[in-house]
Chains A and B, each alone.
Chain A
């Protein structure tokens, strides 16, 4: 009876089966669409094949127009487990280069963002002068600056990790400022007045009321920020001639027509993004549970 209830709740209550169902449908469609997309190349490469052989070949071309999932997985497994981590062919190597810049930029952006938020909340002049610009900057495609920052910094001798980290920092900075300001200002007036009746100092008000109230908002911004940092790091790898990192690998794949390489780098980037966001989500749930905001 309990087992039946488990299956019932898995199917009708949780999100597990619907997600699996949709992923399976997507997988089936993928293989089906690959057939017409790749037939041109198949017919150019092979002559005198019957339909079944054509289909199988369209799923296994070396430079297909649309690689199939198993091809991509094979490539990923190859470049992750069967290459030395330090080799330039290892996906782990490239993934790490991108991850380094992402994390560095994200950390810097978050710290600076929190500091600026504190300034804005406590200083009226900063609030009125800067906040409109911060909000406006969210409507601006900041990523367009990336090539310029890379090239300018390279020309003054700053290369490698730092320019990319600066781009990532810039991208995660703004969501954090906006989120933190909202969060620091989120306590009800009633709660603030309560603190005043206890003669709480400005510092105490900050640490005991404003900061704890801002935690949920901070985590929401961190999730947006880390995804933005990752995109920033990837885009930052493009201008410097594409040497290392996932973005570089995608570009290299474009140059050499290696479509499977592009897709494997894309999947690796997706995996990285998912991993980072899920990690932050995990930390968020743990922290909120500890703070008894979530049960």
Chain B
């Protein structure tokens, strides 16, 4: 067994042992941050060592260092792909889809009949493989980002609609009665009670939809795209067996996903600070 494999097992054991001790003995916020980070670093080291140690063909599984250098090398291309897929496709679809779902939820909230029909249908549609509509949208809107935006809109619309409608329905009865005793108008009740009350649900929907938007935009490009975009790059580089570039794109996607979700979680903390889920 060569040096790399010895190092591999050694680092695995030491890392595990260290993490075990730290987890058992301490519980501060610093430890809670350090342990998973340390785990991640150990994981990357083990990845590097196993590729070197078993002499894995870089065409099948590149080492982290190779991916890292490819990433730095190809930043311009990665940036173009990022703007094409995530900004033009995913973000626009997200804003359009979630925005319209939110507004429509408020409109149908007045009509119980519509609510009872749309809620089950919305739940149903949310479970469907909407991504499959990508080729249809390509046919209608062309190859460029517009068709990807359309896929994202359909993907995020129903989960957002269902969550907002739910949020607007589950309102404390005595808080509603209070508004009645003030003889408040529909709009006053909407803005002062129902919308603030619904915010936790709205943010839940926004978080779910953030991941859906990313997935929708990237996977929609698997079905056809102009010569740029993350989905396009991934499928074409996979075809050329340039897997280090594929991993670099995936890293960008992962980073974007985490940051986007994190941003929404931050906004959630800001606007729903009062909800029990936001308080330790």
Could you tell me which A residues sit within 8 Å of B by CB distance? 14-15, 17-19, 21-23, 65, 124-125, 127-133, 136, 138-148, 151-152, 155-156, 223, 227, 230-231, 234-235, 238-239, 246-247, 250-251, 253-254, 259, 262-263, 265-266, 269-270, 273-274, 277
Contact = CB atoms under 8 A, between A and B. Distances in A.
B95 interface: no
Contacts of A129: 19, 23, 35-36, 38-39
Contacts of B132: 234, 246-247, 250, 265-266, 269
B243 interface: yes
Contacts of B249: 144
Given A143-B218, A234-B129, A235-B219, A127 B139 contact: no
Interface centre among B24, B132, B215, B247 (most CB of A within 10 A): B132
Contacts of B138: 254
B116 A18 contact: yes
Given A144-B219, A155-B60, A247-B132, A125 B20 contact: yes
A125 B214 contact: no
Contacts of B243: 148, 152
A147 B238 contact: yes
A186 B176 CA distance: 31
16 contacts: A15-B116, A15-B117, A21-B113, A23-B121, A125-B19, A128-B22, A128-B32, A146-B219, A148-B250, A155-B241, A227-B127, A238-B235, A250-B132, A262-B135, A266-B136, A273-B127
Interface string B188-231: 00000000000000000000001100110011001110000011
B271 interface: no
Contact of B250 (A125, A132, A145): A145
What DSSP secondary structure best describes chain B's contact surface?
helix
B139 A147 contact: no
B201 to A, nearest CB: 16
Contact of B117 (A22, A125, A127, A151): A22
B239 A125 contact: no
B258 A136 contact: yes
Contacts of B211: 138-141
B128 A273 contact: yes
B218 A141 contact: yes
Contact of B231 (A144, A246, A250): A144
A19 B114 CA distance: 8
B6 interface: no
B23 A156 contact: no
B118 interface: yes
Contacts of A131: 36
A131 B238 CA distance: 30
B12 interface: no
Nearest to B221: A144
A253 B39 CA distance: 46
B231 to A, nearest CB: 7
A131 to B, nearest CB: 8
Contacts of A133: 36, 39-40
B269 to A, nearest CB: 16
A231 B151 CA distance: 14
A246 B115 CA distance: 33
A183 B24 CA distance: 23
Given A128-B31, A239-B238, A266-B132, 8 more contacts: A18-B113, A18-B115, A128-B19, A129-B36, A147-B222, A238-B222, A265-B132, A273-B129
B36 A19 contact: no
Interface in B228-260: 230-231, 234-235, 238-239, 241, 243, 246-247, 249-250, 253-254, 257-258, 260
Nearest to A13: B116
B273 interface: no
Interface in B1-42: 16, 19-20, 22-24, 31-32, 35-36, 38-40
B117 A141 contact: no
Given A127-B23, A144-B250, A235 B222 contact: yes
A128 B116 contact: no
A144 B40 contact: no
